[in-house]
Structure 1
Amino acid sequence: MFFGWRSAVLLCAVLVIIPITVALAQSALNRAANRTLALLLLVLVGVITPWMIGFAGFYDQWPWLTFLPVALPLFVPPLAYLYAHALMHGRWPPRARLALVPGAVHFMVMFAGFCLPLAMKQDWADASAPWINAAVAIGLVTGFIAALGLLAREFRRYAGWLGDQRSDDARFATRWLARAIAALGLLFAGWAGFELVDLVHPLGYEGLMPLYCGIAAVTVFLAIEGWRHAALPWPAMAQDAPDAPTPPTPPPGGHDWAALGARWQAELRVAGVWRESDLTLARAARLVGTNTSYLSRACNEGLGVSFSTLVNRMRAEAVAEAMAVAPAVGLLDLALATGFASKASFNRAFAERFGTSPSAWRRSLGS
């Protein structure tokens, strides 16, 4: 055996990933999502393990390790999607386990080969490797395309829903989810490319090393960032039941959503509830005596903005007014006092409302 730099690089990644995987599996918050991420990390560690031990000469020293059923990449695309789905919905989708069937079949094939007598293993490996590798490559590419499409669709839906339901949507780590999807997209694209090239022109152990270094790097990123965001509150995307009596039957011409939106906006402004950093659509609907569906339609169809944008505009306007009367107070203090949860969300909302940054607006007041 020779434990060279290639094995050392992959082993360093594994030593970072494994403790985080154990911690995620035991996390009480966001349990479905964190356990799914732990399972995904474990699968990715399994994928790089044959290369880690192979470069160290394990297979030469112990040939019975042939067909060791730890590299199961067909589990990666569905688990990546299921992790994101569990964050956004609090659970796996119905019949989600069906997406794991290709990975399970691959495991059974590998396990059957692993259980063969040593004398038969090499013959079976030579006979089966071409069609197993081809099936896995095709399954991976197909799985990557399907997973990325589903991830992009679900993320757009969740971001839109969060904007309609919460005034503090920036607090709920959608940026982390966007970065995770982007990292997975890069991994999937590179992985699919290597698999397709390897089908036509076998790259061998050394030729595939860049791929497995990339897998290790992305896995470390997902582990560290996933743990950092493991305890953040993620509202589950679901249909809200009406939280106030449904208003009377609409007039023959239908509701005037613009008028209702203007009226309810004025009521919310007077009540000052926009100062609550965790204000929700449900609470706002109760305050104006309607239900979430009507208030959401009044915002989107009547005023042309989401509930989140409406509330953050009120907050930005309040900060602009406060700048004029309290020029010595810091911008962040003003932002937090009016309900913004972070400097980033404040700067974004202020620029959207006034077309300039808060600091530039303050300078213009002094000129």
Structure 2
Amino acid sequence: MISFGRNSILLSIGTAHALVLAGLLLRAPVNRTANRLLAALLTIVAFRVLPYIIGFAGFYDTWPWLSFMPYEWSLAIGAVIWLYIHVICTGALPTRWAWHFVPAALQGAYYSTIFVQPLAFKNHWNTVAHVPYIVPIETTWSFVALVIYVALAWRTHARYQHWLDTALSNREEFRLDWPRRFLIACSVTVALWVAHSLYEAAVGGLTYFDRLPLYLWFSVLVYGLGLGGLRSARLAYPRPDAVAEPELPVVLAPATEAATEAATEAVAVLPKTERPADWRDMGERFDAEVRAGCWWRDPELTAPRLARLLATNTTYLSRALNDGLGVNFNEFINRIRVDAVQAELRTASADRDILTIALDAGFNSKASFNRVFKRVASVTPTEFKRLADAVTSQTP
């Protein structure tokens, strides 16, 4: 007899909503590849919860032939997680990405083949082969793949965050917390899933009811990931290829228009033996030229763009800033911007409001300005202005 009781309903709430959210993600007009991958992840995990929903409702007792229904696609979960982060961070799928789904295709083919067999054969196969041999191999393979792919996703995310710091002056506008929260949720899930499986192996197996807490977690997970993914479905993610400009050879001349044109026309870099070793001197020269040129006022300034203005390339610019001055590109530009804001706030005749001064210095918004100013100056802009006014009022 079919009866949806408490357990089936609890599992259905999050899972059904996740499938609706997956459908909405498929319709998102931007970030289509990433959103489709997230929709696939929600569907795969929802399929994993499905047999528990119908199992608690009595479907298997009424229709035992439903055993081995091809709902198990655990070998695809890790690959989808990694590909989702990869597409967010790079804007495209990696080459030969489809090969990552070969194990999942084999897994699906196995369940589909057994599913259409007579019930007597399925019961016998479950006893002599599936439970004692197939399930341990499948579980181990799934967990190894999950750990590897989640680690790869974290590495891709870390590299992307590093690129944001080293390539964009308006990095504060792209905090992009969603990928990090997504990976944290996935990492916690993998840890819980592995721990649960180890416990099950240690106690000699668990019943449907014993596994309910884990599958409740899966249901909550897909609902949460669906909501978070849908809210972030239209976010604009900066792409490395979108901000890259043609690399200039290493011609370290003054950053005049003539020097920039000459550098662009050059066809070869200097040999390694002729490259300057004093990155500090180069960094200080770049600092002086950037301040003199007021290029830091451009809110969309990128490292490739600044390298062209300085008649150098991004490699030398990065080395000069990191090895010479001990800062990345984002910190370098924002410190100059904060210095400019502080200088104007110290001026007794300054009558412009703080936000206007900040926008004129190259900041894109009040929120990003406040975060950067507090990080650099250790006080808020308002506090700095108050201190500056107090010092000015005491000056004869």
**Normalising to structure 2: TM-score of the pair?**
0.84
1:313 aligns with 2:321: no
- More displaced stretch, 35-44 vs 274-283: 274-283
Shift of 1:175: 2.0
Letter in 2 for 1:267: E
1:295 aligns with 2:317: yes
Change (3 A) 1:199 1:98: farther
Match in the other structure for 1:165: 167
Match in the other structure for 1:38: 39
Q: 346, 358, 362: which is aligned to 1:339? A: 362
Match in the other structure for 2:65: 64
Shift of 1:230: 1.9
Shift of 1:173: 4.3
- More displaced stretch, 227-236 vs 321-330: 321-330
Match in the other structure for 1:358: 381
**Normalising to structure 1: TM-score of the pair?**
0.90
Change (3 A) 1:136 1:354: same
SS of 1:69 mapped into structure 2: coil
- More displaced stretch, 357-366 vs 218-227: 357-366
Inter-partner Cα distance in structure 2 for 1:38 and 1:218:
13
Q: 291, 308, 314: which is aligned to 1:286? A: 308
Aligned residues: 367
Letter in 2 for 1:33: A
Residue ranges of structure 2 left out of the alignment (5+ in a row): 253-269, 391-396
Larger Rg: 2
Q: Deviations over 1:128-169 (max 9, x none)?
A: 123232122212221222123212222222111221111122
Change (3 A) 1:295 1:134: same
Shift of 1:78: 1.5
Identical residues among aligned pairs (%): 34
Shift of 1:320: 2.4
Shift of 1:344: 5.0
1:213 aligns with 2:216: yes
Shift of 1:52: 1.4
The answer (yes or no) to whether the contact 1:80–1:147 under 8 Å persists in 2 is yes
Match in the other structure for 1:180: 182
Match in the other structure for 1:141: 143
Residue ranges of structure 1 left out of the alignment (5+ in a row): none
1:49 aligns with 2:72: no
Q: 117, 130, 150: which is aligned to 2:152? A: 150
- More displaced stretch, 299-308 vs 99-108: 99-108
Shift of 1:66: 1.0
Inter-partner Cα distance in structure 2 for 1:18 and 1:309:
42
Inter-partner Cα distance in structure 2 for 1:47 and 1:106:
13
Change (3 A) 1:252 1:91: closer
1:224 aligns with 2:219: no
Match in the other structure for 1:13: 14
Q: Deviations over 1:171-196 (max 9, x none)?
A: 33442211111111111100111122
Shift of 1:218: 1.7
The answer (yes or no) to whether the contact 2:26–2:35 under 8 Å persists in 1 is yes
Inter-partner Cα distance in structure 1 for 2:87 and 2:316:
28
Change (3 A) 1:54 1:342: farther
Q: Deviations over 1:294-315 (max 9, x none)?
A: 2222222222111111111122
SS of 1:83 mapped into structure 2: helix
The answer (yes or no) to whether the contact 1:242–1:293 under 8 Å persists in 2 is no
Change (3 A) 1:342 1:58: farther
Please report the RMSD computed on the Cα atoms of aligned residues, expressed in angstroms: 2.6
Inter-partner Cα distance in structure 1 for 2:358 and 2:11:
45
The answer (yes or no) to whether the contact 1:336–1:342 under 8 Å persists in 2 is yes
